[in-house]
């Protein structure tokens, strides 16, 4: 929320995840900064716009650690502009874009193109770009990591598992002095086979090929051992299983420099939902078994899982209107994540308001080695206002994304960012 003229919001719930406070206060905004926050503000200047904040929530803008852009290469799926509009509608003020564009962000030319495009877009949201660790993200040869780092990538990821462990060791050693974040998918594709859902009772019941838990667990264990030796900080992306949460807790307890994130859909749904065979439930990694989902929620509440990512991935209607096992993995979520997480986890008592807001705002920044500032006078007003009770229907018209590949399409949901 940015405002140049003075605006006073009276008696709004203020969530400050940095100071860990949840208060009802008056907040005065103006000239793009927080002017004052007090239990009650009097002596307000004439012509100040006054808003009744009753039943509303204000907090820092959210950050998504990783989402896909269709531009360049698949502008029919999503453009940078449509991605930004989705983010704004969902309360995100900062996005980190994955390098799986066409061509990929494994060279200076693609990075420069995207940076230039970002400069021409509305300034209400900041775009960052991940660079590939290896050429084309194929895990065979390192990119020019130093050049990409100097040119401004936020960090590096192949967005898939790297099974060439000798190469991975060299990457970790090379990047340590560069001090750029490294995000890794904990997956050994050779164990996954043709699995399209998490292996277990449900995969047998639904007749779909199973992807075993050890696909993720063995990769997490391997990365932990390598990071313990190199001491190069690593962020583990898309954690989806109970066993991985246990291993990460073990690694953190021993001081191994790791952070971890899961995606919003892995917190809300599990293999039981796949009974519908909805192609937008085809994800990678797949939705976990019920015990995995509960372990992830517990991991977020305990801080074992640092951040919640959206992993927004648009596909056209034609691409997703296929049988479940043939659908490309991914779903949209920038506009849906906060309302649905609030509705299903906060209102049902599984996470507190601050736990959720931390995992969506300041903790993603910490995973990138950045610090967040408390909500105090003089600080930039990078804030959003959220109405947790406002209902709306998810339709192609209400979604700002070019795509509507979500299992919540056509449903009425509660909670909406209003500014």
Q: How far apart are CA 238 and CA 186, in angstroms?
A: 8
Span 285-295, average pLDDT: 98
Fold of 62-367: TIM Barrel (3.20.20)
Helices (H), 120-185: 145-151, 165-175
Q: From residue 91, how far is each of 16, 174, 372 by CA, in Å?
A: 15, 36, 17
Q: How far apart are CA 356 and CA 139, in angstroms?
A: 34
Q: How far apart are CA 67 and CA 310, in angstroms?
A: 7
Q: What residues have CB less than 8 Å from 253, skipping those under 6 apart?
A: none
Q: How far apart are CA 46 and CA 305, in angstroms?
A: 47
pLDDT at 123: 81
Question: Percent of the chain scored above 70 by pLDDT?
Answer: 99
Span 267-280, average pLDDT: 98
- How far, rounded to the nearest angstrom, does the alpha carbon of residue 119 sit from its chain's CA centroid? 22
Q: Is the pLDDT of residue 3 over 70?
A: no
**What's the chain's average pLDDT?**
96
Q: From residue 330, how far is each of 216, 263, 311 by CA, in Å?
A: 18, 11, 8
Structure confidence at residue 42 as a pLDDT band (50, 70, 90): confident
Q: Do 417 and 92 meet the contact criterion of CB atoms below 8 Å apart?
A: no
Q: What residues have CB less than 8 Å from 260, skipping those under 6 apart?
A: 235, 236, 239, 248, 299, 304, 305, 306, 307
Q: Is the pLDDT of residue 12 over 70?
A: yes
Q: What residues have CB less than 8 Å from 333, skipping those under 6 apart?
A: 90, 263, 264, 265, 310, 311, 312, 406
Q: Do 67 and 334 meet the contact criterion of CB atoms below 8 Å apart?
A: yes
**Greatest CA separation for the chain:** 68
Q: How far apart are CA 175 and CA 143, in angstroms?
A: 12
Q: Is the pLDDT of residue 19 over 80?
A: yes
Q: How do the domains of the chain map onto residue ranges? A: 7-57+378-399+409-417, 62-367
Q: What is the pLDDT of residues 153-208, one digit of tens each?
A: 999 999 999 999 999 999 999 999 999 999 999 999 999 999 999 999 999 999 99
What global pTM score does this model have? 0.97
Pick the CATH number of 7-57+378-399+409-417 from 2.60.40.1120, 3.30.110.40, 3.30.565.10, 2.30.40.10: 2.30.40.10
Q: Is the pLDDT of residue 121 over 90?
A: no
pLDDT at 322: 97
* 64 part of the active site: no
Q: Do 414 and 92 meet the contact criterion of CB atoms below 8 Å apart?
A: no
Three-state secondary-structure class, residue 327: coil
Q: What is the CA radius of gyration of the chain?
A: 21
* Tokens 């919640």 belong to residue: 308
Span 310-324, average pLDDT: 97
Span 106-133, average pLDDT: 94
Find the catalytic residue in 16, 311, 387, 403.
311
What phi and psi, each to the nearest 5 degrees, are found at residue 13?
-75, 120
Q: How far apart are CA 31 and CA 260, in angstroms?
A: 36
Q: Is the pLDDT of residue 50 over 70?
A: yes
pLDDT at 2: 58
């Amino acid at each position: 929320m940015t405002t140049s003229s003075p605006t006073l919001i009276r008696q709004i719930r203020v969530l400050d995840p940095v100071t860990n406070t949840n208060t009802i206060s008056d907040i005065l905004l103006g000239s793009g900064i927080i002017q004052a926050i007090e239990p009650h503000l009097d002596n307000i200047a004439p012509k100040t716009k006054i808003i009744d904040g009753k039943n509303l929530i204000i907090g820092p803008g959210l950050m998504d650690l990783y989402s896909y852009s269709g531009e360049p290469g698949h502008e029919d799926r999503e453009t940078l502009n449509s991605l930004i509009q989705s983010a704004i509608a969902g309360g995100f003020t900062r996005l980190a874009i994955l390098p799986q564009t066409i061509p990929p962000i494994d060279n200076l030319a693609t990075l420069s193109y995207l940076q230039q495009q970002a400069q021409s877009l509305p300034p209400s949201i900041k775009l960052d770009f991940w660079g590939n660790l290896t050429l084309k993200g194929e895990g065979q040869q390192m990119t020019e990591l130093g050049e990409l780092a100097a040119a401004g990538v936020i960090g590096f990821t192949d967005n898939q598992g790297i099974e060439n462990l000798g190469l991975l060791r060299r990457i970790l050693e090379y990047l340590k002095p560069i001090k750029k974040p490294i995000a890794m998918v904990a997956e050994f594709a050779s164990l996954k086979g043709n699995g399209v859902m998490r292996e277990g009772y449900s995969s047998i019941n639904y007749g779909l090929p199973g992807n075993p838990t050890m696909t993720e667990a063995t990769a997490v264990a391997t990365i932990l051992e390598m990071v313990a030796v190199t001491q190069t900080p690593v962020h583990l992306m898309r954690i989806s299983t109970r066993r991985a949460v246990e291993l990460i807790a073990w690694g953190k307890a021993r001081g191994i420099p790791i952070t971890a994130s899961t995606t919003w859909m892995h917190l809300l749904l599990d293999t039981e939902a796949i009974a519908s065979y909805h192609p937008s439930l085809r994800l990678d990694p797949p939705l976990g078994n019920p015990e995995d989902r509960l372990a992830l929620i517990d991991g977020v509440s305990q801080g074992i899982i640092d951040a919640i990512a959206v992993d927004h991935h648009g596909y056209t209607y034609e691409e997703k209107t296929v049988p479940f096992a043939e659908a490309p993995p991914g779903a949209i979520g920038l506009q849906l994540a906060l309302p649905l997480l609030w509705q299903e986890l906060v209102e049902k008592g599984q996470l507190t308001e601050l736990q959720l807001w931390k995992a969506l705002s300041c903790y993603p920044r910490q995973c990138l080695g950045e610090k967040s500032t408390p909500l105090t006078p003089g600080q930039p007003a990078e804030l959003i206002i959220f109405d947790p009770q406002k209902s709306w229907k998810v339709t192609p018209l209400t979604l700002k994304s070019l795509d509507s590949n979500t299992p919540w399409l056509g449903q009425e949901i509660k909670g909406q960012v209003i500014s």
